[in-house]
Amino acid sequence: MAQNIRERVLVTGISGFIGLHCAKELLNQGFEVRGSVRDMKKADEVLITLAAASVDTRHLTFVQLDLTSDEGWNDAAEGCDYIMHIASPFTIANPKTEAEMITPAVEGSLRALRAGENAGVKRVVLTSSIVAMMGSMKTGTFGPSDWTDSSSSAISTYTKSKTLAERAAWEFVENLPDSNTMEFVTVNPGGVFGPPLGTNITGQTMAIVDQMLNGKLPLVPNIAFPMVDVRDLAVLHVQAMITPKANGKRILAAGSAPSSFAEMAQILKDEGYKGPSTRIAPDFFLRFMSLFDREAKGMLGMLGMNLSADNAATRSLFGWTPRSVKQSIQDTAKAVSLIQNQ
């Protein structure tokens, strides 16, 4: 819990799927939250969404920030004890140019760190991803000490952007003057599922469940990787922020076992949903599709992937026990179905 004098946290990307859950967790634990949005019109939406989730928003304020602009960052961080930098572009589809995704990911992370340095914050928590660890591996187990080779031609633009952003952040922190005491932690989530706060299901993971439930994914890719529930992820973000021993760590936020799209579809079918299909798309079909479909192209590097995660350090450090994938997918589908039927 925060102390009687409320500590203030700058949360970038507060209107997103993960950002909203982190804001909820912080506010419920007694922190003051300053959330960043690209457009101040989003502020009202965030307030309404959190209030509907029975969150006390009296200690929530907003600032406008852009990952590709220096404007406002120092003012946003001023008076904050912590920064939780969650904002970053996320889409499975490869963009038309790499810079569209890589530039805001890398520059946004560095802007958050520079603002934190200038404001004298205690610690910055950066939301990275397991894709910055697992690289182009197809089988086996990866962990916090592993790094993706960003020069590999086998990885997607998203994977490259998360790897380069995290690398740049660690390099920045390593080069801080000895007199600077700002601490740094990364949280590296797996595939993030779980019920959204609010009614926005346009994000990548929510869109996948939405398409499954509506029968719009007649074939699923042959991919399996570790996943995490967004509610567990939000708790980990706060623990990574306040736990002394977390400083300097890469926190692997995912279950240990791989979960496939076919398994997800089967969970939904077992729950009585009629739309999901467990038919696996042949790899050659996705390779053909990738010639003219940027989303299919973004999946090529993951075809045939069946990876496990070594999350022993996360479990030990925080006493963490994640929800089961089955529970997470069931809760996600229930929430998405309710939104669809509104």
Token reading at 174: 């390593």
Annotated catalytic residue within 24, 160, 162, 297: 162
Spatial separation of the C-alpha atoms in residues 142 and 102, rounded to whole Å? 23
Q: What is 228-286 written as a DSSP string?
A: EEHHHHHHHHHHHHH-GGGTT-EEEES-SS-EEHHHHHHHHHHTT-SS---PBPPHHHH
326 is catalytic: no
Token reading at 340: 């669809």
SS3 for 63-95 is EECCCCCCCCHHHHHCCCCEEEECCCCCCCCCC
DSSP bridge partners of 62: 35
Residue 52: count of CB within 10 angstroms of its CB: 11
List b or e across 95-123, with b for residues whose CB sees 16 or more CB atoms inside 10 angstroms. beeeeebbbbbbbbbbbbbebbbebebbb
* Interior angle at CA 158, CA 123 and CA 127, nearest 5: 15
Ranges of beta strands (E only) in the chain are 8-12, 32-37, 60-64, 82-85, 123-127, 139-142, 183-189, 191-193, 224-225, 227-229, 250-253, 259-260, 306-309
Which residues are catalytically annotated? 162
